[in-house]
Amino acid sequence: MKKWNILLLTFAISLMTTGAFAHAIWIETANTGQIGKAQTVRIYYGEFVDGERDSVAKWYSDIKDLELWLVGPDQKKIKLKTTAAANYYEAKFTPGSNGAYTLTISHQAKELGGETKYHFLASADVTVGKPAGKSTVFVNSLQLQKSEITSAQVNKQIMLKASHNNSDAAKMKVSVFSPNGWSKELTTDTTGSVSFLPPFPGRYVIEISDMDKTAGEHYGKPYQETWSGATYSFEVK
């Protein structure tokens, strides 16, 4: 009986771990904005490729306590107020000048999945007017980004740049998810770059993940590894 209970516990932990790995947070907002006009931003948690957006009440651990930050053209970082709805958190900001705006989230879940710590990250860009130069701003420890996001079009090559701990995220796996269930697995090159041709219009979510085998302690509990998953979301016309 004792052996059977241990097996059941191991299986339960495995299911919990698998569920947390499969899920992600992502940001949805329009690619472009206007000076003086409020921009709506929504944060979801679930399985984008399956059209699954979990109700806020069922979000894993303390993910609902995440913080949403905005980096403007002046590179100043501002925390945005979020309000809970049925299955998302919503925020608004009003651009005060032309330029590139980056929305970012970085949240380490309080609860461990077995001996694994989970780090959820997300980002999205908003272009206002015609910003000068490249808009790429890396503010998270693991992040994907594309400059000139307004140029995203069906069957037109999209180039993304990945960063990991302020360095090029070379030879890392990247997953591309489309609005209709189509997906593609890619690998970044030695400079952290990766590209793909979007076959359909609509919102895409790109995900990159990393497993760090460094052990440590989190909220008084020991862990053996840290899983980090970062998403980048944008619309394709």
Which DSSP helix (H) or strand (E) runs through 107?
strand 99-108
Taking the model in full, what pTM does it have?
0.88
Nearest CA to 136 out of 107, 157, 156, 166 is that of: 166
One DSSP character per residue, 13-69 reads HHHHHHHHHH-EEEEE--SEE-TTS-EEEEEEEEEGGGTEE--GGG-STTGGG--EE
Structural contact between residues 162 and 172, judged by C-beta atoms closer than 8 angstroms:
yes
- Could you please state the CATH topology (level 3) that the domain comprising 2-236 is classified under: Immunoglobulin-like (2.60.40)
**Tens of each residue's pLDDT in the chain, 237 residues:** 544 444 444 434 444 444 445 699 999 999 999 999 999 999 999 999 888 999 999 999 999 999 999 999 999 999 999 999 999 999 999 999 999 999 999 999 999 999 999 999 999 999 999 866 555 566 788 888 886 666 799 999 999 999 999 899 999 999 999 999 999 999 999 999 999 999 999 999 999 999 999 999 999 999 999 999 999 999 999
> What percentage of residues in the chain have a pLDDT greater than 90?
79
Q: How many CA atoms lie within 13 A of 14 on its CB side?
A: 6
